[in-house]
Chains A and B, each alone.
Chain A
């Protein structure tokens, strides 16, 4: 089945700097890759997603890139702010029913 690896597990950045989180997946048939942000005590919230027919997608300070050949995708956060501090999860769609395989998560800490 699908296996998703996520790195790094923790990421500390200075406010205003950029943060990059990388995920790799194993199943070449996976074609949908969402990113979720989970603040402490809250539910995971979808922040951006990308499909396999697209190489990059941007939404304000957030962007996701996908390299299908290498089977990896990355989340980029620019001009980080303290409110970006959270755990971020990547995921890959694994089957026709819509099941996801989640990465292990990245704890992002933005220091003022």
Chain B
């Protein structure tokens, strides 16, 4: 499976600011996914990032709040904008998906975000 890294691993931010999370993969992948996992909860898909096209957002998530970039086949960023304490969560990227030739998704280590 691919080796996936995320930066930062954790951060504490003030409300009203923005944080950009980076996801790097050691091989080229077609599909990248961004998830949010609130404390003690399951994984909720924020958006699907396919290289060369605009990200597709799930219901309840909007581009103005969570802009995503996918400049190449090994890298993606998720920005959490104008943060509030409700954005405190773990953010995970994953790679995989049928367009990449595999159904399985593999996850990055996650970014633990605390908003004060």
Binding site for B on A (CB under 8 A): 32, 34, 36, 42-46, 49, 51, 89, 93, 96-100, 102-105
Contact status B97-A99, CB under 8 Å: yes
Contact status B48-A99, CB under 8 Å: yes
A63 to B36, CA, bound (A): 28
Residue of A nearest to B101 (CB): A98
Q: 3 tightest A-B contacts by CB?
A: A98-B97, A98-B98, A32-B103
Contact status A89-B43, CB under 8 Å: yes
Binding site for A on B (CB under 8 A): 31, 33, 41-45, 48, 50, 56, 92, 96-100, 103-110
Residue of A nearest to B110 (CB): A43
Please name all residues of chain B whose beta carbon is closer than 8 Å to the beta carbon of A104 when the two chains form the complex.
Answer: 41-42
A32 to B102, CA, bound (A): 11
Residue of B nearest to A104 (CB): B42
Known: A43-B92, A44-B43, A105-B42. A100 touches B98 (CB 8 A): no
Contact status A43-B42, CB under 8 Å: no
Residue of A nearest to B109 (CB): A43
Residue of A nearest to B106 (CB): A46
Please name all residues of chain B whose beta carbon is closer than 8 Å to the beta carbon of A45 when the two chains form the complex.
Answer: 107
Contact status A98-B103, CB under 8 Å: yes
With beta carbons under 8 angstroms apart, the residue of B100, B108, B109 that contacts A98 is B100
